[in-house]
Copies of this chain bind each other. A is one copy, B any other.
Amino acid sequence: MKIAIIGGVAAGTSAAAKAHRENPEAEIILFEKDENISYAGCGLPYYISGVTDSRQKVVINTPEAFTKKYKVEVRTGHRVDEIIPDKKLIRYRNLKNNRDGEYRYDKLIITTGASPVIPPIPGIKLNNILTLRTINHADMIKNILNKNKPERVSIIGAGLIGLEMAESFSKLGLKVTVIEKLPQVLPQFSPEMAQIVGAHLKENGVDLLLKDGVVKFTGDNSVEKVITESGQEIKTDLVLVSVGIRPNVELARKAGIKIGPTGAIAVNNKMQTSLSDIYAAGDCAESTDLVSGKSIWAPLGSTANKQGRVAGENAAGGNNRHDGVLKTAITKVFDLTVARTGLSEKEASEAGFDPIGVKIKAVNHAGYYPGLDKLHIKGVFDKKTKRIIGAEVIGKNGADKRIDVLSTAIYSKLTTHDLFQLDLAYAPPYSTPKDAVARLGMVSQKKFK
């Protein structure tokens, strides 16, 4: 059996590794247009800041190591240009010698990922205006930091990457300005929770411009100023554009593979596309929202890994599923952990629920144990069933634990009653006798009385 995989970061390498384990006899070949595979995309902000002290650490596997470990032929510098499903054929260009070639597969897995959106703002092509998506981007940013010693950086977009990089640049001593079109940071959070994060950014010396867009970038060869809609002129030595990503689906689209309403490749829970023997996984593919049942596009590292694994297992003859996601996301913004899972109130209304948001303040552990911190928790409940269908948690310590418990609760269709019943682990360094999650259950039960 011949399995071809297009794209070699999170989903692609997960698929290749699992396909080999599932079927050690299969011939597995992985095409990647860049030189690197298997690097930790989510680790790039820490590689740039130096918190992770070597490049090698974020490169999980070199092509050579990967081949040795999983018996997968890795062809880096190979760009796949065409899929011909009828002939089970792919055509590629070897970018190293500019020669074209083709490969006949029995099963094909598309893991082409996503690319940063580059907004058509005047001046966007000036030097020192960058995005951050691949390890090449990270290398470029590090190179500029080392060579130019920039003092001021502007970050366009206050999403997860934007805020992680605000911290990274601050740690490196740069003066950071974040410019965001929306009236809040982190669009996937509710305004009142996002506001806590915005305040924390300011406490840490970040200039935050909300409800403001970029009109143009100015400068000679390199960017020197960001001009905003509100008329501000921000001097800058470096700009990071992080206004979103788009799934890389052109190859699939041209092959006649169905693209879903979200713009990503439509797949079922076996990661099969609309064409037989072709799978897709990771940031180029859709997923199912476990609460609403809708097809959504939720490109996140953990999902890419799991979808890749499932695609690889099934392509190699196995039988596994990826049922869907809760869009669970977490990020560290200076000292704060900021996390969400499930549906927002708005999403819940759109999905036909009658939602109610319940906000509480709780603490991470016993008040008399050192390291006491606040937790801000918001739960979204369905009025009819009293089920928890969404949650957000922000705090300095213990927020990651509570979001994972709440994510598990949402997955399991638990109600306000259940949250109080959960037997969560209590000892003074870890929790309170009634844990923050139990408190959320208690307060919600009262609301429903």
Contacts and interface: CB of A to CB of B under 8 A. Distances in A.
Interface of A: 10, 40, 42-43, 46-47, 51-52, 57-58, 290, 300-306, 309, 321-332, 337, 339, 341, 366-370, 400-401, 403-405, 407-409, 411-412, 414, 417-418, 420-431, 433-435, 437-438
Question: What copy number does this chain have within its complex?
Answer: 2
Given A411-B418, A429-B332, A424 B302 contact: yes
A197 B400 CA distance: 25
A132 B306 CA distance: 48
B325 A427 contact: no
Contact of A426 (B42, B337, B368): B42
B40 A368 contact: yes
A57 B420 CA distance: 26
A24 to B, nearest CB: 14
B401 A404 contact: yes
A341 B425 contact: yes
A430 B330 contact: yes
Given A302-B434, A433-B10, A423 B341 contact: yes
B306 A427 contact: no
Given A368-B46, A408-B412, A434-B305, A400 B425 contact: yes
A144 B58 CA distance: 54
Given A42-B366, A366-B40, A434-B305, A407 B428 contact: no
A435 B401 CA distance: 12
Q: Which 5 A-B pairs have the closest CB atoms?
A: A412-B412, A330-B425, A57-B368, A302-B426, A305-B433
A421 to B, nearest CB: 5
A321 to B, nearest CB: 8
A212 to B, nearest CB: 27
A21 to B, nearest CB: 9
A182 to B, nearest CB: 22
Given A10-B433, A412-B408, A433-B301, A57 B367 contact: yes
B10 A337 contact: no
Contacts of A325: 423
Contacts of A306: 420, 433-434, 438
